[in-house]
Structure 1
């Protein structure tokens, strides 16, 4: 089937548009705050680098624990929607506490309340959507996941533009209220969505059209490193850009360039992965990231920061689309755990990524040597896995040929 016919089929699936809209508005809420978060802690509350990192690290650790614990339990539940709704409401309460913080303790408490359950939202939404499309459109399960992730990303980068303008017009308070608005829209659309019973046996029979992946700890580690590199860039690029060019909102404008390419590149990389395999596409994404990090280290003129964004968008598209589907396919029979495990990997990467750059003082572009080295290590792991699989397949083929030859001789 062609991309266009798949998209038309996707649009006719009941509930697909609500899921798409829920993730889009959730992405807007995240995008409004993301590039401004570290600057808010630095400029408005007056925290230093170590304090900022500790707040993000502690909240990410709590988020990781909550996500994987509840995610493992959620597969026993008929409906996962209440988990996501409860998490969204708690996040909104946490943001209200966060925006009133005036010292390290207040910021830490607010961030922990706002962030600790947030992984449940994405993890459970993707578990809900995987089951939804497995039931109603099994041939579109993987591409539906990618398009839903694309909707989140397009919303995220739309939120970057909104957040930059809210910052100019209404300072950080406007940014934080915009973040709460994104959560509110998510709650509304998710409330209207009719979730299918996730414990029905129909899923097992329908999901035969989707091929699972063998469990690979080395590949999970490689994806963790890829996500870790991106998390370093996510936290420190706004601070480095502010250091170089003196304007906090420029980071939002740089990231927003990715929105133009996100849907297209996620779709294309998804079809590439289906045709050529996940691992070669992950390597393409990693090489793209290395090129971008090398440009950042060079401390180029502002124009080049914008020009390399489409290349980084390819890396992010592959990380969020192709890698997410790969991890979920390792656990086809446990959609809640599989989706939560991917979110847990992202959170663990965030935790490590926040801490590593502490070895470099200040916000110098040399920080990006760290994610560059991490991606190189990840690509070596992926390459090793590909060579091992190729060698095992060759040994297996020779063994099968020998068995066939002996059977023919007898």
Structure 2
């Protein structure tokens, strides 16, 4: 079977396992804090919804500027490894300040330093990985990227479980120290990793045919990412409000880990066979169903049941979606990876603010991402139909 043949090739590539471990550790470090970040600001620092939103929004906006600015110049750098190393060190400093926060201003300063450089880490890790596999195994570049992204997700969900247990053992301070340790381990692994470089002309030659640039598809992905960002910030608050236990969110998200590697792998091969756009559209249907359940149900059982359903969407958005954007810019790996992160960050910034139009923290918030998903699906259907019509006219047009 092709998947086993590709997997065997993948694990025997020099440096592949180091990249896997790096993404896994980074996922753990991020996942430890993610579901409890907003709750920490609410319960330990004593901030309200508007203050929490503004802290996330300001730090994220600075992260966006850093990510796209460095992405524009990173392809001119022969070696990119120093960028995520420096970013990791800055994040560590920021976390030291963040864990000592006792007011809005101190939490804001800590969050800015802890979050603003993080976009460099994720984007440049995948830029380095694309260069690595383009040089070592060009036939499996796309699926290798998806496996790395899935490994990050497995690490992230492992971090969720670890964070829940750290919270039990040492409250929020234990969670913050765990997050800091994750960045420290990431920095060490990056120092040990031997980066593989490749020039842009070689990347263009060795990679598969690229995707044509489509502003409408980028907008559709922005809307999808925006809906997921709303879920990421507000689902922990809604779950805490409905069921009164901040640990539940860690367990809910951890359900996805069981399915995400399988779904990401399947989605990667489906995208190669049927095209990226139809698979992204298919994944969106699963997200729409999940948001509808979040909006009208107060059953904890149903919240758990829809997690595997939502993981199909997440697998497509983060695996296939990222690959789709990168394939628009195959000759600029750093910019392509950074652009996808920038789109996700822009979506998150928008997503943080949209629920403010709904009073309080209620399940009604999720009608907003349901609407965004629907709009994105309409755009994708239009693009697919238009492309097919254009291709049909071109195929049947008489030779001149």
Q: Shorter-normalised TM-score: what interval?
A: over 0.9
Corresponding residue for 2:225? 227
> 1:186 aligned to 2:186?
yes
Corresponding residue for 2:297? 299
**What is the CA distance between 1:202 and its match in structure 2?**
3.6
Corresponding residue for 1:261? 259
Distance 1:244 1:115 in 2: 29
Corresponding residue for 1:120? 120
- Secondary structure at the aligned position of 2:283 is classed as helix
> 1:152 aligned to 2:114?
no
Tell me if the contact between 1:76 and 1:199 (Cα under 8 Å) persists in the aligned partners.
no
CA deviations over 1:353-378 (Å, ceiling 9, x no partner): 00100001111000000000000000
| TM-score normalized with structure 2 length | 0.99
Which blocks of at least 5 consecutive residues in structure 2 are unaligned?
none
Distance 2:192 2:342 in 1: 27
- Of 358, 362, 369, the match for 1:364: 362
Corresponding residue for 1:23? 23
Distance 2:288 2:161 in 1: 26
Corresponding residue for 1:282? 280
Corresponding residue for 1:43? 43
Distance 2:53 2:175 in 1: 20
**What is the CA distance between 1:178 and its match in structure 2?**
0.6
Distance 1:359 1:198 in 2: 48
Tell me if the contact between 1:63 and 1:118 (Cα under 8 Å) persists in the aligned partners.
yes
Corresponding residue for 1:336? 334
- Secondary structure at the aligned position of 1:257 is classed as helix
Corresponding residue for 1:105? 105
Corresponding residue for 2:215? 217
CA deviations over 1:326-382 (Å, ceiling 9, x no partner): 000000010000000000001001100001000011110000000000000000000
CA deviations over 1:202-243 (Å, ceiling 9, x no partner): 434322xx1100000000000000000000000000000010
Tell me: CA distance 1:193–1:199, structure 2 relative to 1, closer, same or farther (3 Å): same
- Secondary structure at the aligned position of 1:294 is classed as helix
Tell me if the contact between 1:28 and 1:155 (Cα under 8 Å) persists in the aligned partners.
yes
**What is the CA distance between 1:310 and its match in structure 2?**
0.4
How many residues get paired?
400
Corresponding residue for 1:387? 385
**What is the CA distance between 1:185 and its match in structure 2?**
1.4
Corresponding residue for 2:308? 310
Which blocks of at least 5 consecutive residues in structure 1 are unaligned?
none
Distance 2:202 2:211 in 1: 21
Tell me if the contact between 2:135 and 2:198 (Cα under 8 Å) persists in the aligned partners.
no
Corresponding residue for 1:53? 53
Tell me if the contact between 2:200 and 2:332 (Cα under 8 Å) persists in the aligned partners.
no
Distance 1:315 1:196 in 2: 32
Tell me: CA distance 1:200–1:284, structure 2 relative to 1, closer, same or farther (3 Å): closer
CA deviations over 1:163-205 (Å, ceiling 9, x no partner): 1111111111000111111111111111111002243754343
Instruction: Please tell me whether Structure 1 or Structure 2 has the larger radius of gyration of its CA atoms.
Output: 1
**What is the CA distance between 1:261 and its match in structure 2?**
0.5
Distance 1:390 1:206 in 2: 28
| TM-score normalized with structure 1 length | 0.96
- Secondary structure at the aligned position of 2:133 is classed as helix
Corresponding residue for 1:162? 162
Tell me if the contact between 1:77 and 1:199 (Cα under 8 Å) persists in the aligned partners.
no
